[in-house]
Structure formats: structure tokens, C-alpha cells
Amino acid sequence: MIEPLLSIITITYNQEQFIAKTIESVLMQKVDFPIEYIIAEDCSTDGTLAICKDYAEKYPDIIRIITSEKNVGGIENERRAMLAAKGKYVALCEGDDYWTDPLKLQRQVGFLESHPDYSVTFHRYKIHYLNDDRWVNDDIGCLFEGKDVEGVEINTYMFLHRWITQHLTMVYRKSAFDTNLIDRYKYYRDSHLIYHLLEAGKGYIFAFDGGVYNKTGDGIYSKLSMYDTQKVQIAVFEELWKQNNDNRVREMYAMNIRYLIETSKHDKEHKRELAKYAWKLFKTDKKIKPLFKLFLEFYKIDEKGYNCKK
């Protein structure tokens, strides 16, 4: 059997209304190299697995299903699919997203084959808000303004300062990411994968629009308040900074704390917690001492989080 050059991975759980479109968008791809398609199905309670099995029976030479008797969670589901991948390259598309350009894989793999110093490629995409059927472009149009180019190079610094992509746009060199890194992080997510890929080599974003990211509102983090979402973001950057001793990440950690304080400084409910964040920020970036003092004075809280005045 010919080994695949590319492994395509879809992780899915309870996505029966989306998964067929995801699979069809993979099968429509036009490539001149061997591929495998791994569907990591995480013990869904709806009809997702049955749909995946139907496709696997129709395309046994391409589709391989990984599942288990119990739910393992999104991170472990993705990891087991990555470990099972046989290809030199890996493409990702989650079970509620889909691709729209039939040549996207050919372009991305072709680029990586001819540019060994690059570890990952991305492309542009559309965002579909399903609750109100609203469509918007991604947030990286500024990278291409006034430029008639096939794509642009990106690096870690650029990625840290702007969220540039989603899972569905990525094709990466499998050797550039060690899945053991996942165990280092309590808050592992897409940003960790992209960070390590960009540290391993160059990144490239194609200008073409190649897929749709569905915003369903059903995700764990989509249900969080803005305040709690920002807290998670701070925890992610703090962990990424300390695990890698990277001052570029430390800057983002400080920036996210500063944003939380500035947007929540009139929030009486969280004033003690915000004071602790202010102290963390002061220890991280001494330049913000005036902001720190003003914040504590506003809440009449000392550096340990106790009320100083009534």
C-alpha cells in the first residue's frame, strides 16, 4: 500500500447536522498525491458515527475512523488522530467546518514540498454565525491590503499580536510538532499548536479563501462571559510564557491583563480578583506602576487584596 503524503484529520463529536458537509468538502479535493482521511469520532450520542461509517464504507481506501467506547475529550481525540497520521503533512478540519476550494490541499502541500524551511501554511476563510445567519470575512484583510500577492509570510511575533486563522486552514509539516508538547499545558489549544509550529519554521498565509468556519455558539468558551474569556486568555499566555521562557509571550500576557483591568475597572463584583491581576501586572511590567496605583486607589484595596478603607 502506498504511504500517504498527506493525512487529513477531522475531530468530531455530536455534529450530525454538519459532518456530512465536512466530509464531502474533503472528498472534493483534487490532488496528485496519495492521501488518507482520519475521522476521530469521540463517542457521539447522536447520529455522527453512523454518518461517518457510511462514508468509510464507500471510501475504504481513504477514510479511517478512530473511535472508542467512551468519550476522551477534544484534546485527547485530536492527539490520538495526530499520532495515527502516516503522512508527511497534516491538514485539519473540524467536524462543523468545511472547505470550499477544491485545490486548497494541492496548493498548500505543493508549497511545503518546495519550501522546506516552512513548517505550516494557512489561508483565508469566511465566518458563518449560525444563530443569525450572518457572514463575515476573517480578520486578516489588513495583511493583504494594496498587495497583489499569492500570500504573505508570518512569524511567531505576528501571530501573537493577531489571531490569524482557524483549524480548518492549516496544513503543517508533521515533523515540526511533537505531540508530547501537549502534556506540558493545562490550557492547551490551537494557539499552542500554531506557536510551536511557527517556532519550528516559517509560516505562510495564502490569499485565497478556502473554507468556512461555523460559529455555532455551542463551544465551551463561547458560553463564557467576556470577563471569563479574558481570564482564560491570560492563563493561556501565562502558561505559554513560563513554559517557553519567551518574552514575546510575556508581553502578550501583560497586555491581556492590562486589557482586563481597563475594561473591568468599574466592575465591583470582581474587584478583589482584579486587584490580584493588577499586582501580577505590576510584577511583570514595572512600567505600569502609575496604572497599578490608580487602580488600587479606585478600589481602596492594598496589594494583598484587602480593603484599606471603607
Q: Does the CA dihedral 242-221-163-207 come out positive or negative?
A: positive
The set of cell numbers assigned to 94 is: 473540524
Strand pairing report for 89-92 and 6-12: parallel
Confidence tier at 218 by pLDDT (50, 70, 90): low
Which superfamily is assigned to 6-215 in CATH? Spore Coat Polysaccharide Biosynthesis Protein SpsA; Chain A (3.90.550.10)
**pLDDT tens track for 154-180:** 999 999 988 888 999 999 999 999 999
Confidence tier at 27 by pLDDT (50, 70, 90): very high
Q: Is the pLDDT of residue 308 over 90?
A: no
- The CA-atom distances, in angstroms, between 202 and each of 7, 120, 172, 199, 236 are 20, 7, 11, 8, 23
Confidence tier at 300 by pLDDT (50, 70, 90): low
Write down the pLDDT at residue 289: 56
* Domain segments of the chain as ranges: 6-215, 224-299
**pLDDT tens track for 256-287:** 888 888 888 677 777 778 778 777 777 776 66
In terms of pLDDT, which residue wins out, 249 or 301? Answer: 249
The set of cell numbers assigned to 99 is: 472547505
Model-level pTM greater than 0.75?
Answer: yes
Confidence tier at 97 by pLDDT (50, 70, 90): very high
The set of cell numbers assigned to 60 is: 475504504
- The CA-atom distances, in angstroms, between 48 and each of 15, 19, 91, 117 are 6, 7, 21, 38
- For residue 300, how far is the Cα from the chain centroid? 39
Confidence tier at 309 by pLDDT (50, 70, 90): very low
Q: Which residues contact 32 (CB under 8 A, 6 or more apart)?
A: 106
DSSP 265: T
